[in-house]
Amino acid sequence: MSDGIILNLGKRYAAAFGLLAIGGKPDKAHIDKDYKLTFFDESDETTADISLTFDGKEVAFGQIPFVSSGDAGPKKLFAPPPLITFNRQKHHIETPINGSDAVVVERWGIKSWDIRVNGLLIDVENRQYPAEYIRNLNRLFSYKGVVDVSGAQFEDKDIDSIYFKGISIQPIPGYADTVKFSLKARSINAVGFTLLNPNG
C-alpha cells in the first residue's frame, strides 16, 4: 500500500485503555491520500461503527471524517471504533413479610441503559494535537438536548436516543496526535403519550 499513512491502532488502544482493550480491535489501519480507510486484518468493524446526530450535525465514529455534516472546519480526523459498555438494572419495590425471611415483589420495572463510550481521536492530516476536534467532541457533550444514535450496538438494545452525563479527555504519552476520551451517557425513550392521546 502506498500514498497514505499506516496507523498502529493496537499500540494506541493499549496505551490508552490497557492491553485487554485490543481484543477484537484491528491492529493496524491504512489511510490513503483520499482518506479511504482499510484495516490490515480485513476485520468487519462496521458493527462497531456508531453515529450520533445532534443539532443538524452527524458525529461518526469508525470512519473519516469525524464530523461528517454541518461543520465548516477541518474534517480529516480519524475516530476509530470506540469501546462501548452497556449496563442496565431492574427497579424493584420489595416488601418484607413480618416474621419471615421472604419478601414480596410488588412492582418492578427496567431502568435506562448506562452507557460508557471510550475512544480515540487521531489527527491524521497534521499529526498534531487534535484541538479542533476536541472542540467538536465538547460541542457534542455540551448540547442541551437528546442525541439520536445509530449503529448495531444501539439497535440490538433498542436504543434510539441518549443524553450525556460526563466526559473525560486525556492525552496519551508518546502519541502527540492522539487523545483518549470517555463519555458517560444514559438511554432515553421518547414520550409516547400526551394528555390528549394517553394510549400513545
Q: For residue range 60-88, what is the model confidence (pLDDT) as tens digits?
A: 776 655 554 455 444 445 677 788 999 99
Quickly tell me which residue has 473525560 as its cell. 168
Give pTM, 2 decimals. 0.69
pLDDT value of residue 160: 94
- Give the three cell numbers for residue 174: 508518546
160-167 average pLDDT score = 95
- Between the alpha carbon of residue 163 and those of residues 67, 77, 88, 140, 147, the distances in Å are 19, 24, 15, 10, 6
Q: Which domains does the chain have, with CATH numbers?
A: 4-188 (2.40.30.200)
Mean pLDDT score across all residues of the chain: 75
Q: What is the pLDDT of residue 32?
A: 55
